[in-house]
Amino acid sequence: MPNLKIDADRLWDTLMETARIGGTPDGGIRRLTLSEEDRQVRDWLRAACEGLGCTVSVDELGNMFAYRPGSDAGVLPVAMGSHLDTQPTGGKFDGVLGVLAGLEVLRTLEAAGYVTRRPLVLVNWTNEEGARFAPAMVASGAYAGVFTPDYVNARTDAEGVSFGAALDAIGYRGAAPVGSVTLGAMFELHIEQGPVLEEADKTIGIVTGVQGIRWYDLVVTGRAAHAGTTPMALRRDALCAAAELMLEARRVARTHGALATVGEIGVVQASRNVVPGEVRLTLDLRHPDSAVLDAMEADIAAFVTGSAFALTPVRLTRIWDSPPVAFDPACIAAVAAGAAAEGLPAQEIVSGAGHDAVYTARVMPTAMIFVPCKDGLSHNPAESATPEHCAAGAQTLLNAVVAYADRA
Amino acid sequence: MPNLKIDADRLWDTLMETARIGGTPDGGIRRLTLSEEDRQVRDWLRAACEGLGCTVSVDELGNMFAYRPGSDAGVLPVAMGSHLDTQPTGGKFDGVLGVLAGLEVLRTLEAAGYVTRRPLVLVNWTNEEGARFAPAMVASGAYAGVFTPDYVNARTDAEGVSFGAALDAIGYRGAAPVGSVTLGAMFELHIEQGPVLEEADKTIGIVTGVQGIRWYDLVVTGRAAHAGTTPMALRRDALCAAAELMLEARRVARTHGALATVGEIGVVQASRNVVPGEVRLTLDLRHPDSAVLDAMEADIAAFVTGSAFALTPVRLTRIWDSPPVAFDPACIAAVAAGAAAEGLPAQEIVSGAGHDAVYTARVMPTAMIFVPCKDGLSHNPAESATPEHCAAGAQTLLNAVVAYADRA
């Protein structure tokens, strides 16, 4: 293993430089996928990679691949990267760190004149966030064959603009069919987006997998009625029923050591003096074990079909099921060794959030590296990671990628 | 007491005729205040009243007064009426019945050549519903001195159009200052908008008053966090806190024999994979006794300042307080006698909803008459009252108004 050291200051400066593209006064970034700001940061990344002698290709969904040759031409490249798009009120690190740390790896290798055995590829996946075009991680999903390009192109934003039209508008529709740029492995560095590493005082999370996620849409149907004239005993209040349901979902999650979140709720034809007749809400369940997700779903389904809901029936529709993901043992081992080589405090962790790595894991050996973020906060302008943690993550990424690329 | 009988078929035909103005395919009416449809029904009413020899005046807020002289010129008129505007998805009876039954009274008197001692006035109040311009009952409120004309004119609808501009646009701004058309008493016939009379199998509700109404805005502040990475124990979920609050409000209402309704709720910057950081909701409390409303408010305030809400503080703001109203004993007696004279099954009742009569009661003797509506349903295209109940209500109105107008 060569003694290659990333430049912590250069990495930080790069993070701060690109943070100005879509930067907001509160210190965050608003860089929605396929927006003008996204075009600018893509142009910036392309120029930076080409400046290192890399060849940048773009596929038909805008996924960007910067290729650095290896010494052995007959093997698949090892990839690293993440995404440069953000939430509407996003922070400076979510996704961005994984791409710019990958760039820092390339810069370090270039400065040292070091050529890995396998080629390296830095990837910037389109629309990881799903904030402008739902669902999330749609372009890495298409890379993995989960979505068709037609499906992805037809996604529309709140203004009715399609993914395809937005991609064309910023000039980032490439010629390569999605999935045609073949990769041999994938390493993704990311902030944890949770409080576990910070609470445990660890610098590196060796991510062994991603918990399963199930999304549901729920509709509670009661009967709209006059708030001033309808006795409590005669009400079929859809919102009170929804309140019972929300507290039960929380109880079920606690019982199973899992997560349950109702993130959106709305009363149909709401008025402050009308008893709600219909309520729509979302439910997000997460756990690393599919059997536990099955049990939670059954618990909640049983609750809402019980006698307490006879007058306010609930329709529960599972709209998305992302099974738990187990990352590749060799990739995980490379990450663990990469952290150990630096003497960094590390622990294994399961990702609570979805990432592009969930989809790449379906088609190539994959692992992830987490670094702590302040208070576990992300998707927020106050999202924060220290320069030291960013550098530790980038060094671990370098160690893992170079070791994996150089192995026989 | 003369033997004056209203014409049930004529009343019903009139209800069905005007229901076409703003009528919707589902049998309801969409006749928002100061809209083109409102102008049409106002023109229709003016023509109908002038056809009976009445003088129609309009005040500066569009309130319409059709004046029928009495035999004694030196006394204040006795008024009857309600409102012709509807909710966006309103029915055929709410408000409309009170105005058209008043017209039927005038037609019956005119056909019989009967002149009451006091003059009679049929009133159509502007914007009772408050659906286009909040708050409700704003023009009768201004008549009673509760709101200034400037305040009323400045109310804006969802498109930013002001009450004043909309009033000018339909040509219904009269010259008379609001309140200058003096009245000696007010009788308002209305559908109950609740299930009490129907359940008790009564035809006439002798309305003795209106329960107090308090409106609150609530803001629950937690901390937005990632749904996939934030352990349940570390969450400050504003929506779960709101759910606890909603169920407590229901419990408090049941305990006090009162009403509590959360009609609107929303998560600020909602996303299905974000733990809600801020939730806004409304609360509507109603009871005929102010002391009970005080106690309910105290119960809820104590609940949300308890330790369970330490991490999700609640801001509770009372935005409207409509005190309980007791109607005038002589007017109530006139209604009771009017129903009894016809042998109609009647009972005393407290109105759960607000009405223009709440405001007129501040400045003149007032009472109301209720008739049943199917399933207690109103503010809904399916709102329904039978021809027999409408006729019984109109006859009771005639009896009460004539008796009150003829008394010494």
Q: Shortest Cα distance from A242 to chain B (angstroms)?
A: 8
In a domain, A292, yes or no: yes
- In this prediction, residue A225 carries a pLDDT of 86
**A311 CB neighbour count, 10 Å cutoff:** 15
| Structural contact between residues B322 and B214, judged by C-beta atoms closer than 8 angstroms | yes
Q: Is B285 exposed, middle or buried (0-12, 13-18, 19+ CB in 10 A)?
A: buried
3-class SS of residue B96: helix
pLDDT digits (tens, 9 = 90+) for B350-367: 999 899 999 999 999 999
**B161 Cβ neighbours under 8 A, 6+ residues apart:** none
Cβ A239–B246 below 8 Å, yes or no?
yes
3-class SS of residue A104: helix
- In this prediction, residue A1 carries a pLDDT of 63
| Structural contact between residues A216 and A319, judged by C-beta atoms closer than 8 angstroms | yes
d(CA B373, CA B192): 6
Among residues A266, A288, A321, the one where a domain terminates is: A321
Residue A363 touches chain B, beta carbons under 8 Å = no
Domain holding B221: CATH number? 3.30.70.360
Predicted confidence (pLDDT) at residue B140 exceeds the cutoff of 80 = yes
- From the list B330, B333, B366, the residue with the least C-alpha distance to B351 is B366
Same domain, A241 and A192: no
Predicted confidence (pLDDT) at residue A3 exceeds the cutoff of 90 = no
- In this prediction, residue A271 carries a pLDDT of 87
Same domain, B37 and B173: yes
- b/e per residue, A73-91, with b = 16+ CB within 10 A? eeeebbbbbbbbbbbbbbb
Residue in this structure with the two tokens 């009460």, named with its chain if needed? B400
Same domain, B311 and B236: yes
Q: Is A325 exposed, middle or buried (0-12, 13-18, 19+ CB in 10 A)?
A: buried
| Structural contact between residues A64 and A167, judged by C-beta atoms closer than 8 angstroms | no
The number of helix segments (H) and strand segments (E) in chain A equals 12, 16
d(CA B90, CA B129): 10
B375 DSSP 8-state letter: G
| Structural contact between residues A219 and A278, judged by C-beta atoms closer than 8 angstroms | yes
pLDDT digits (tens, 9 = 90+) for A299-324: 999 999 999 999 999 999 999 898 99
Tokens at residue A331, please?
Answer: 């990739």
Better-predicted residue by pLDDT, A134 or A369: A369
Predicted confidence (pLDDT) at residue B408 exceeds the cutoff of 80 = no
**B147 Cβ neighbours under 8 A, 6+ residues apart:** B138, B141
| Structural contact between residues A214 and A297, judged by C-beta atoms closer than 8 angstroms | yes
- From the list B130, B141, B133, B142, the residue with the least C-alpha distance to B162 is B133
User: Please, what is the angle between helix A96-112 and helix A8-18, to 10°?
Assistant: 140
pLDDT digits (tens, 9 = 90+) for A97-121: 999 999 999 999 999 999 999 999 9
- From the list B33, B152, B121, the residue with the least C-alpha distance to B84 is B33
**A258 Cβ neighbours under 8 A, 6+ residues apart:** A252, A285, A286, A287, A292, A293, A296
Tokens at residue B15, please?
Answer: 């209800």
Q: What CA–CA distances, in Å, run from B207 to B147, B359, B394?
A: 25, 15, 15
d(CA B331, CA A403): 94
Tokens at residue B329, please?
Answer: 């004993």
Q: Taking phi first (over 0 means left), then psi (-120 to 50 degrees means alpha), and beta for anything else, what does residue A155 get? A: beta
State the complex-level ipTM. Answer: 0.81
Same domain, A75 and A192: yes
- In this prediction, residue B248 carries a pLDDT of 98
**B397 Cβ neighbours under 8 A, 6+ residues apart:** B80, B101, B102, B105, B187, B189, B338, B369
d(CA A387, CA B355): 64
Average pLDDT in chain B: 96
In total, the C-beta contacts within 8 angstroms joining chain A to chain B are 195
pLDDT digits (tens, 9 = 90+) for A274-294: 999 999 999 999 999 999 999
pLDDT digits (tens, 9 = 90+) for A201-223: 999 999 999 999 999 999 999 99
Cβ-based contacts of B213 with chain A (< 8 Å): 228
Same domain, B191 and B219: no
Same domain, A103 and A191: yes
Q: Shortest Cα distance from B62 to chain A (angstroms)?
A: 25
Same domain, A218 and A304: yes
Chain A, 68 to 97: residues with Cβ < 8 Å from chain B are 89
Looking at the 3D structure of chain A, how many domains does it have?
2
Predicted confidence (pLDDT) at residue B57 exceeds the cutoff of 90 = yes
Domain holding B84: CATH number? 3.40.630.10
In terms of CA atoms, which chain A residue is nearest residue B260? A227
Residue in this structure with the two tokens 């993070």, named with its chain if needed? A15
- In this prediction, residue B1 carries a pLDDT of 63
Predicted confidence (pLDDT) at residue A2 exceeds the cutoff of 80 = no
In a domain, B314, yes or no: yes
- In this prediction, residue B3 carries a pLDDT of 87
Q: Taking phi first (over 0 means left), then psi (-120 to 50 degrees means alpha), and beta for anything else, what does residue A81 get? A: left
In a domain, B280, yes or no: yes
Q: Shortest Cα distance from B345 to chain A (angstroms)?
A: 20
Q: Shortest Cα distance from A93 to chain B (angstroms)?
A: 15
d(CA A190, CA A400): 14
In a domain, A27, yes or no: yes
Tokens at residue B365, please?
Answer: 């003797």
Strand partners, B292: none
| Structural contact between residues B199 and B273, judged by C-beta atoms closer than 8 angstroms | no
Same domain, B157 and B190: yes
Same domain, A21 and A150: yes
Residue of A226, A247, A350, A375 for testing the chain B interface, max B β-carbons within 10 Å: A226
Percent of chain B past pLDDT 70, that is, above it, reads 100
In a domain, A1, yes or no: no
CA of residue B27 relative to chain centroid, distance: 21
In a domain, A3, yes or no: no
- In this prediction, residue B256 carries a pLDDT of 98
**A308 Cβ neighbours under 8 A, 6+ residues apart:** A241, A244
Same domain, B195 and B289: no
Residue of A211, A229, A303 for testing the chain B interface, max B β-carbons within 10 Å: A229
Q: Taking phi first (over 0 means left), then psi (-120 to 50 degrees means alpha), and beta for anything else, what does residue B160 get? A: left
d(CA A365, CA A185): 5
Question: Where in the sequence is the domain holding B296, given as residue range(s)?
Answer: 212-322
Tokens at residue A388, please?
Answer: 């030291």
**A99 Cβ neighbours under 8 A, 6+ residues apart:** A45, A81, A82, A83, A84, A122, A123, A124
Same domain, A254 and A396: no
Percent of chain A past pLDDT 90, that is, above it, reads 91
d(CA B108, CA B5): 7
The helix, strand and coil proportions of chain B, stated in percent and rounded to the nearest 5, come to 35, 25, 40
d(CA B8, CA B13): 9
**A93 Cβ neighbours under 8 A, 6+ residues apart:** A15, A191, A373, A378, A383, A384, A385, A390
In a domain, B3, yes or no: no
Among residues A287, A321, A355, the one where a domain terminates is: A321
pLDDT digits (tens, 9 = 90+) for A21-70: 999 999 999 999 999 999 999 999 999 999 999 999 999 999 999 999 99
Cβ B266–A266 below 8 Å, yes or no?
yes
d(CA B218, CA B261): 13
Kind and range of the H or E element at B366? strand B366-371
For residues B144-165, average pLDDT: 96
Predicted confidence (pLDDT) at residue B328 exceeds the cutoff of 80 = yes
d(CA B30, CA B19): 9
Same domain, A12 and A103: yes
- In this prediction, residue B143 carries a pLDDT of 98
User: What band does B6 get if pLDDT is binned at 50, 70 and 90?
Assistant: very high
For residues B385-400, average pLDDT: 98
Residue in this structure with the two tokens 């201004």, named with its chain if needed? B142
d(CA A33, CA A179): 20
Cβ-based contacts of A131 with chain B (< 8 Å): 271
Among residues A321, A340, A371, the one where a domain terminates is: A321
Tokens at residue A190, please?
Answer: 């990311």
Predicted confidence (pLDDT) at residue B109 exceeds the cutoff of 70 = yes
Residue B244 touches chain A, beta carbons under 8 Å = yes
Q: Shortest Cα distance from A338 to chain B (angstroms)?
A: 24
In a domain, A335, yes or no: yes
The number of helix segments (H) and strand segments (E) in chain B equals 12, 16
Residue B322 touches chain A, beta carbons under 8 Å = no
